[in-house]
A and B are shown apart, each in its own frame.
Chain A
Amino acid sequence: MEEQKQAIMEFLEGKKGKSKFYFSDFCKIFPDLKQREVKKFLTALVNEGKLEFWSSGSTTMYGIKGAGKQNAEED
């Protein structure tokens, strides 16, 4: 689990420009794993406060907590 969580964080930290990503983007990091397994890593990272959700209301994305636009800037 720790190894995969690290891989997710490295993927996100290596991205420039975008700060929010679809669930499917994370599945591409682990082509041999089922989607439900990938979800467990993301959920763990959300629960640890390292990732946060972004939602338009109809779709949802994940990003590093604090990265990109934050509440104050969304006003």
Chain B
Amino acid sequence: MAKHKTPLLDELESGPWPSFVSDIKMEAEHRHQNPDGLDYQIPVDCPDDLLGVMELSYKDKETHWKHGGIVGVFGYGGGVIGRYCDQPEKFPGVAHFHTVRVAQPAGKYYTTEYLRGIMDIWDLRGSGMTNMHGSTGDMVLLGTTTPQLEEIFYDLTHTMNTDLGGSGGNLRTPADCLGKSRCEFACYDTNAVCHALTNDYQDELHRPAFPYKFKFKFDGCPNSCVAALARSDFSVVGTWKDDIRIDQDRVKAYVAGEFKPNAGAHGSRDWGKFDIVAEVVDRCPTKCMSYDGAKLSIDNSNCTRCMHCINVMPAALKIGEETGASILLGAKAPILDGAQMSSLLMPFVVVEEPYDEIKEIIENIWDWWMEEGKNRERVGETMKRLSFQKLLEVTGIPAMPQHVKEPRSNPYIFFKEEEVPGGWTRDQQAFRERHKS
């Protein structure tokens, strides 16, 4: 028997997709039955009251949560997000409903033993409900009370050998794609650099001193499986310098239907015979490809590494051999005032241990942003406010053609006088001598 009537939430279960409402009801039932005989450390009816307060919010069309507070674990400025219900008498099971972020490992590789261990802690000391995963990549444990926080932290660090993730004005848990561990498109080892930088920047992760949040994301190739370009302040995206490798025999095999395009990813529908011109050549955004009926040609100097041709014919086309990454800065995807994509800062860096080149860029940016950034200003906003040229100055990166974002509308880079040989002054008399008429 449900504790609260939830007619509005029940509507969400009637659609074709699995519903979180059904999941919460299942957890509510599970906790009441308590088949494992747990001595629950937070109210047993926490999931029931969660449904109740959500129903009330749907009815009132406003939230009944209060966010933020001093809750956390000793010495850490992030990892726990305080949440309280503003109707604690009505919904005592969610009077405290704090979120705990658990740092994800590089590539999000988990063993089932680890996941069961996390859930053993969370069933006992929390609501049993999770969000796998949050936007930053952390495992998000939803709903516990203040007295449980240090207990959970102790178990996570001592039993599970893991740590809290980032929140607040600090470095958020770095995220990466699977990279070379699973993917032939990866241009560098995303897992290695993500793990190394997570370890190197523990102080930035746990003790906030930035104007606002700061996210790293590492994409192994421009397919951008972790959406670094769109979602991270500091985006590292794999790329290559040389030519796309073409196996012409395999191109012919694709044309003959011996290989399935996109490795069969869209094979649930009959799209007809594979048409290399319509599906690959004409889809090239820079029109740098041609197919003469026997041979595929690519003008690599005009290739923007969109990955489309490689994605369609992975058995025939491969990324180049001189691989590394591009570094871009300033993406954000806020709820308010609009998203912003990253701007290209370094067209190509070699990504090799100990990653000193990348770390030098990161630390120069942090020093500048910590000094110049306003409170609650993302680095992308600081960059827009103080100019991209200023960013180049603080990172010591020279202006280059790749920095021109929209050459047709604005092809200019504004140099300072000291950056131009001879400065602004010139001998006008000598100029007129050379241009008499």
Q: Do A and B come from the same complex? A: yes
Chain A residues with a Cβ under 8 A of chain B: 22-24, 27, 34-36, 38-39, 42-43, 46-47, 52-60, 63, 69-71, 74-75
Interface residue B397 (Cβ < 8 Å from any Cβ of A): no
Say yes or no: B68 contacts A54, CB within 8 Å.
yes
Query: Min CB distance, A72 to chain B, in Å?
Result: 9
CA separation between A54 and B76, bound complex, in Å?
Answer: 10
Whose C-beta in chain A lies nearest to the C-beta of B207? A43
CA separation between A70 and B84, bound complex, in Å?
Answer: 13
Q: Please indicate which of the listed interface residues A34, A35, A57, A71 has the most CB atoms of chain B within 10 Å of its own CB.
A: A57
Interface residue B59 (Cβ < 8 Å from any Cβ of A): no
Say yes or no: B376 contacts A59, CB within 8 Å.
yes
Chain B residues with a Cβ under 8 A of chain A: 66-72, 75-78, 80-82, 84, 88, 95-96, 99, 146, 167-170, 203, 207-213, 367, 370-371, 374-376
Query: Min CB distance, B277 to chain A, in Å?
Result: 49
List of B residues within 8 angstroms of A70 by Cβ? 70
Say yes or no: A53 contacts B213, CB within 8 Å.
no
Say yes or no: B169 contacts A23, CB within 8 Å.
yes
List of A residues within 8 angstroms of B81 by Cβ? 55, 57
Q: Can you name 26 A-B pairs with beta carbons within 8 Å? A: A22-B375, A23-B169, A23-B208, A23-B211, A35-B209, A35-B367, A35-B370, A36-B209, A36-B367, A39-B209, A46-B75, A46-B207, A53-B77, A53-B208, A55-B68, A55-B72, A55-B167, A57-B81, A57-B82, A60-B170, A63-B70, A71-B69, A71-B146, A74-B69, A74-B70, A75-B88
Query: Min CB distance, B153 to chain A, in Å?
Result: 14
Say yes or no: A55 contacts B77, CB within 8 Å.
yes
Q: A22-B375, A75-B96 are in contact. Are A47 and B211 (CB under 8 A)?
A: no
CA separation between A53 and B211, bound complex, in Å?
Answer: 15
Whose C-beta in chain A lies nearest to the C-beta of B73? A53
Say yes or no: B70 contacts A53, CB within 8 Å.
yes
List of B residues within 8 angstroms of A63 by Cβ? 70
Say yes or no: A53 contacts B212, CB within 8 Å.
no
CA separation between A13 and B88, bound complex, in Å?
Answer: 33
9 new A-B contacts, CB < 8 A, other than A23-B208, A55-B70, are A35-B367, A42-B207, A53-B168, A55-B68, A56-B67, A57-B167, A57-B168, A59-B169, A59-B375
Query: Min CB distance, A30 to chain B, in Å?
Result: 12
Whose C-beta in chain B lies nearest to the C-beta of A35? B370
